[in-house]
């Protein structure tokens, strides 16, 4: 029977796993209140080791039609290939009867999306689903009954923003629906300013967490909290943002086929420099392997279960797999040492990391670092900072891979 080593591979520095996204925000005072959603999303991203590079054009009371005619908005759309262009309509108009919305909203959403795609076909228009007014729209209540209450107005906004996203191959950031859930379950968190329309600081914070989750596909829990918001209130808003976005990705049309690259090595013990790499990526259509040894990039136009490679000599090589689907790609890298091929060593580690039962123990010098928890298919289950010398893994089951600054620890749970 052929024997195999199980190696603790060296992961690249954590900073290389961080994400960088670009976004242009086009909107009005709902977006720029309290220092602005773009700045706050950037703060949240930075606190979680990600980066948001952004620009904006925000004009009080502006409609989507205004942005279609605004030279600054159009020039900023064309200024670079954006990952996201956020589109926010005037706060009342999408809640009007559909016969009106068909005329005063939808055509201009389409014009802006056409401009976005003309600049870069891989940009994603992201519609800012806003919230209903605290006690409904009193001015328009006599003309359309759903606007007489907050609940009725919120449902109309939801309907229109989802229609805009669906009609334009776009996505919706469901701020209004997270707002509704937090408002119902935590009435002591005041999301409105005194005018019962614009957001309070808490409202801007909630919206920013929704945008971070929608853009980075990561939970905002553990991220930036502005002064003036309690840790308890912030946690509620962070958790609701993550839960509502992730629970209904198909509804919001957010990243239903997210590409994630991942591979597992299978390396025979002995004198051979041959290695086998099993492709456990999700949703990739074509793939590129870089074995880090100066050999040509291996292009695979379709999924191949495993790939064989012969290294030229003993030494360290950083192996990277890039998975692609349409405009999206993801790269996963591990540094392997071919010296292990000629060894009976089962594991190598740079520090004492122990697994006892359902608990993993870290040395004190790793406190404050971030770890990533993957399942056996390479799908990210969770990411968190090491805040104590150990944490319990009982909420998971099966084979796990815990990635940290010293490598990857395999854990098998019942």
Please name which of 259, 276, 357 lies closest in space to residue 311, comparing C-alpha atoms: 276
Most confident range (mean pLDDT) of 59-68, 261-270, 273-282 is 59-68
182-196: string of b/e by CB count within 10 Å (b at 16+)?
A: bbeebeebbbbbeee
- Cα separation, 361 vs 383, in Å, equals 16
Q: What angle do CA 314, 318, 319 make, to 5 degrees?
A: 105
**DSSP, residue by residue, 177-201:** HHHHHHHHH-TTS--B-TTSSSB-H
Most confident range (mean pLDDT) of 155-159, 344-348, 367-371, 396-400 is 155-159
Q: Does residue 345 carry a pLDDT above 50?
A: no
Q: What angle do CA 290, 294, 295 make, to 5 degrees?
A: 65
**236 or 365: which leads in pLDDT:** 236
Would you place residue 10 in the very low, low, confident or very high pLDDT band (cuts 50, 70, 90)? very low
Could you say which DSSP state residue 295 is in?
Answer: P
Structure-block tokens of residue 148: 């007489």
Domains and CATH numbers, the chain: 19-252 (3.40.50.1110), 258-342 (2.60.40.10), 354-413 (no CATH)
The pLDDT tens digits for 367-387 are 888 787 877 656 667 777 787
Structure-block tokens of residue 121: 């076909």
The pLDDT tens digits for 170-221 are 999 999 999 999 999 999 999 999 999 999 999 999 999 999 999 999 999 9
Report the pLDDT value the prediction gives residue 329, as an integer from 0 to 100. 85
**What ranges make up the beta strands (E) of 100-255?**
124-128, 171-173
**What is the residue whose two structure tokens read 């776009």?**
170
Q: In DSSP terms, which residues pair with 10 in a beta bridge?
A: 335
Please name which of 181, 180, 184, 170 lies closest in space to residue 214, comparing C-alpha atoms: 170
| pTM assigned to the model | 0.68
Report the pLDDT value the prediction gives residue 388, as an integer from 0 to 100. 80
Give residue 315's region: left, alpha or beta (phi > 0; psi -120 to 50).
left
**407 or 73: which leads in pLDDT:** 73
């Amino acid at each position: 029977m052929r024997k195999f080593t199980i190696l603790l591979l060296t992961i690249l520095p954590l900073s290389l796993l961080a994400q960088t996204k670009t976004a242009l925000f086009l909107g009005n005072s709902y977006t720029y209140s309290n220092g602005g959603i773009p700045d706050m999303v950037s703060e949240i991203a930075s606190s979680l080791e990600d980066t948001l590079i952004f620009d904006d054009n925000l004009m009080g009371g502006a409609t989507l039609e205004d942005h279609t005619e605004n030279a600054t908005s159009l020039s900023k759309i064309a200024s670079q290939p954006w990952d996201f262009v956020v589109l926010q309509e005037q706060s009342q108009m999408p809640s009007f009867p559909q016969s009106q919305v068909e005329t005063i909203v939808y055509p201009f959403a389409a014009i802006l999306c056409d401009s976005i795609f003309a600049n870069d076909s891989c940009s994603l228009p992201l519609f800012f689903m806003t919230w209903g007014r605290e006690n409904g729209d009193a001015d328009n209540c006599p003309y359309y009954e759903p606007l007489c209450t907050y609940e009725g107005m919120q449902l109309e906004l939801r309907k229109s923003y989802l229609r805009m996203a669906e009609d334009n191959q776009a996505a919706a950031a469901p701020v209004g629906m997270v707002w509704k859930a937090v408002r119902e379950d935590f009435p002591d968190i005041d999301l409105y300013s005194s005018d019962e329309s614009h957001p309070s600081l808490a409202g801007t914070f909630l919206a920013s967490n929704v945008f971070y989750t929608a853009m980075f596909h990561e939970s905002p829990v553990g991220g930036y909290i502005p002064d003036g918001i309690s840790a308890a209130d912030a946690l509620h808003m962070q958790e609701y943002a993550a839960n509502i976005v992730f629970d209904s990705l198909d509804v919001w049309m957010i990243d239903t086929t997210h590409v994630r690259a991942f591979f597992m090595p299978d390396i025979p013990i002995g004198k051979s420099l041959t290695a086998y790499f099993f492709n456990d990526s999700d949703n990739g259509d074509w793939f590129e392997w870089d074995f880090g040894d100066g050999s040509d990039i291996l292009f695979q136009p379709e999924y191949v279960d495993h790939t064989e490679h012969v290294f030229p000599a003993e030494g360290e090589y950083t192996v990277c797999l890039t998975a692609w689907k349409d405009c999206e790609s993801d790269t996963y890298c591990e540094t392997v040492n071919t010296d292990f091929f000629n060894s009976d060593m089962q594991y190598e580690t740079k520090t004492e990391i122990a697994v006892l039962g359902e608990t993993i123990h870290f040395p004190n010098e790793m406190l404050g670092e971030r770890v990533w928890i993957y399942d056996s298919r390479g799908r990210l289950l969770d990411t968190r900072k090491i805040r104590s010398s150990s944490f319990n893994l009982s909420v998971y089951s099966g084979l796990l891979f815990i990635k940290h600054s010293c490598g990857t620890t395999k854990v098998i749970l019942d």
